[in-house]
Each structure stands twice: as structure tokens, then as C-alpha cells.
Chains A and B, each alone.
Chain A
């Protein structure tokens, strides 16, 4: 995973540099517009990068689900005394049919 604090710092520094032009009286209107557009693109890149990092975590969630499903299956399928008695009864009933 990327270092979010560092990514944020780099984004802020780059944005501030563009804003220095975007709000400068020394820049022409066209230069200010170009700087604003570049700043918006920078922000969209930042959003996209963070959203993709979230997507990468989705596979890890899936791995967790797979492991937990195995645990739940194990919990649900174990033998109990009652299920053991029922199993023996089943054997006796089948034997009774064969012998009767």
C-alpha cells in the first residue's frame, strides 16, 4: 500500500505550485485557466490513485471470506452425541430391515 501521508504531502505541494499561477495577477487569464485545469487533473489523479488502492484491498477481503467460510463449515459440520446416536440408529434400522 502507498504511504498516504507522503502522497498527500506531494499532492498538496504540487497543487500549491499550480495555485500560485492560478491566482496570480502576473499571469494572463489564459495562463490562470491552464493552471486551474492542470490543478483539477492533478486532483482527479489523486482521487483515482486512492480509489485504486481501495480496489486492491478487495482481493484481501475475498481471501478473508474464503478462510472464514472454511471455519464456519467446520463449525457447522462436526459430530455431536445426538448425531452419533442417530447415525447408530440408522445402522440398526438398516440391519433390522436386512434381517427381518
Chain B
């Protein structure tokens, strides 16, 4: 039986203590039943994939901004267009602000907002520290104990023996609330990343490829013009003289080099003029031979130049291919994280595949940088 004024608490305080004991037991039971599991590994894997994809995107965007600068210079140099009658009115284009938005800046902002989203999620997954929650409890009890109201002071006094377990319970409740918000945040944000952003990034890569192709094709076709002009000079000169073994050798070298020129995307061979036929019997002099050798060398140099221009484009496509593979990794881990959040399913996550994709991108970019 409790003695009066034990510990300075009145008989009414005993009832308060018992009530608090029951409250603690109930809260602890409720927490144990409701404890939410956070997909920690899936979240870590997703964050790593996003960070790697973002770094790759910045490299690709930096290169593409140079392509856009090149495009603007070319457009500025064009002859002014004949004015045209307006085409079909598109309210989406006319009403949007697309033309005034900076292409590269907006895409950087998109990646930045994902970074903020991931940071907010990480903060929720970790939850508040027990010290933070304990500090808040202490602060409230302290304020209650300083109240001029006797009931408030008594309440603070009755709470005192239970502060330890109460802080533990409230810290756990705080973490549980954070975990719930973390999962809700995953279900709200991840579909936007998986369905909206990654689709945009893939479309972007396709359009970047076409702009780079166009810029490359402009150079490539002009280089083929030079190939044809050099070959024409060689052919015209050689057709004025009888065919000799040396001339036939030079013609064979040029033909072999031309055969290596890439076909276009429809499979058509590079547009190069046919070899000239020699109808003349005039003997080739040393001077003519020297001139033919010079023309042959120039032709071969122009062909090599055309091949280098093509190689640059092939290398760029390699960079974009590696970049899209990283985007696919990001899409995969985003989908897995979302599924883990929705169903509690756990995933076995291969750790080296992302690293391989990053290495592949670096290697392809080094090849491209070497060639451009």
C-alpha cells in the first residue's frame, strides 16, 4: 500500500501514474504492430543509379550545348527565308512558354529537383534523432513545470518517472511517422520520374543524335564533294594519257580507299564518280606521273578526312548508347524501389552492373573526345 506523500506525489498522482503506465503499454503495442519497413537497399541502389545517370547527363548536355551553339551560328549565316503563310495553329505551342525557356538550364533544373527529392526522402528514411525528440519532450515538460497552473505542474510531476520510456516511445513513433511519409513520398514521386522524366530523357537522346548527325552530315557531304573533285582532277589528267602499270596501281589504291567509305543509312554507297576511261595513247612523262601521284595523294587524304568525320559520328552514337544504358539502369532501380514500396517485395540487386555501365560511358566518351 502506498504511503501518503510518497515522492511528494498525492494519492491522485498514483492514478495518473497508473494511467501513464497503461498509456505506455498501449503505445508500445501499437508501435510494434504498425512498425513500417523501409526498403533501404532498394533506396540506396536507386540513389546511386540516379547520381550516376545525372553525372552522365551533365556530360551529354555540355556536349550538346556546343552542338546547339554550332547550329545557331549556321542558322544565322543562312540567307533570310522567303516569308511564308502561317501553317496550322497549335494552341499548345502558341500558349506555352517553350520558346523562352533555356534548353540546357531547364534540363539541369530537372535533375536538381530529383536531387532535392532524394535528399528529402533520405531525411525521412533516417527520421529524427532520439536526442531531438527527447529534447522536445524535455522542453514541453519544463514549460509545464513552470506553469502558474497547479494542474499543469502536477501533470509535469506525474510524468517525471515515465520520461525515460516515454522519450523512447515518442522517438519510435516519430521514426514510424517518418517512415510512413517516406513510403508515401516514394509512391507520389517515383512514378513521375519513371514515367515522365525518363521518357523525356530518352526522347532527348534521340533528338540530340539527329542534330549531331545533321551537323556531321553537313561536313561529311562537303568532304565527299572534295573527294569527288580530287578524283575528277585525277581522272581527267589520267584519261589524257595511255594507261600504265603505275597509273593502274594508283587507280586501284583510290578504288580500294573509296570502297571503305561508309554506305548511307539506306545502304546506298557513297556518291563517288566512276573512274575515267583512258582513250589516249600519249605516253606518261615523269612530270605527269608526279602530278598524278600528287592528285592521288590528295584524293586519298580527302577520303581519309571523310572517314574521320564519319568515325566522329559513330563515336558520338557510342556515347549516347552508353548514356541510354545508364538511363535504363536508373529506370530499373526506380521501378524496383516503387515496387518495394508498394508491395514490400525485396530485390536482389547486382552491384557491378551499374559500375560497368559507368565505365562503358567513360570509355565511349574518351573515344569520342579523341575523334572530335
Contact = CB atoms under 8 A, between A and B. Distances in A.
A75 B75 contact: no
Contacts of B206: 4
Nearest to B107: A61
Given A4-B206, A64-B197, A99-B147, A40 B218 contact: yes
Interface stretch (B37-45, B132-140, B303-311, B318-326): B132-140
Contact of A23 (B136, B210, B273): B273
A64 B109 CA distance: 10
B98 A59 contact: yes
Given A1-B203, A78-B181, 16 more contacts: A4-B207, A16-B266, A23-B228, A25-B232, A43-B217, A44-B74, A44-B214, A47-B74, A58-B103, A59-B96, A65-B106, A72-B116, A75-B124, A80-B178, A81-B133, A96-B147
Contacts of A36: 221-222, 225
A4 B188 contact: no
Interface of B: 68, 71, 74-75, 78, 93, 96-99, 101-103, 106-107, 109-110, 113-114, 116-117, 120-121, 124, 128, 132-133, 136-137, 139-140, 143-144, 146-149, 152, 170-171, 173-174, 177-178, 181, 185, 188-189, 192-193, 196-197, 200, 203-204, 206-208, 210-211, 213-215, 217-218, 221-222, 224-225, 228, 232, 264-266, 268, 271-274
A6 interface: no
20 contacts: A4-B210, A8-B213, A12-B265, A12-B268, A19-B271, A23-B272, A39-B221, A44-B75, A46-B214, A50-B214, A53-B207, A59-B98, A61-B109, A61-B200, A68-B193, A74-B185, A80-B128, A81-B136, A81-B177, A85-B137
A16 B264 contact: yes
A54 B103 contact: yes
A70 to B, nearest CB: 9
Contacts of B192: 64, 67-68, 71
Nearest to B266: A12
Secondary structure call for the A interface? helix
Q: Which 4 A/B pairs are nearest by Cβ-Cβ distance?
A: A47-B214, A81-B174, A59-B98, A85-B136
A62 B109 CA distance: 9
A36 B237 CA distance: 24
Interface of A: 1, 4, 7-9, 12-13, 15-16, 19-20, 22-25, 36, 39-41, 43-44, 46-48, 50-51, 53-65, 67-69, 71-72, 74-76, 78, 80-82, 85-86, 88-89, 92-93, 95-96, 99-100
Nearest to B95: A59
A13 B173 CA distance: 68
Contacts of B224: 19, 23
Nearest to B176: A81
A43 to B, nearest CB: 5
A1 B203 CA distance: 9
A96 B146 contact: yes
A89 B133 CA distance: 13
A78 B123 CA distance: 12
A63 B75 CA distance: 29
A43 B71 CA distance: 11
A80 B144 CA distance: 21
A3 B177 CA distance: 48
A72 B96 CA distance: 24
B31 to A, nearest CB: 11
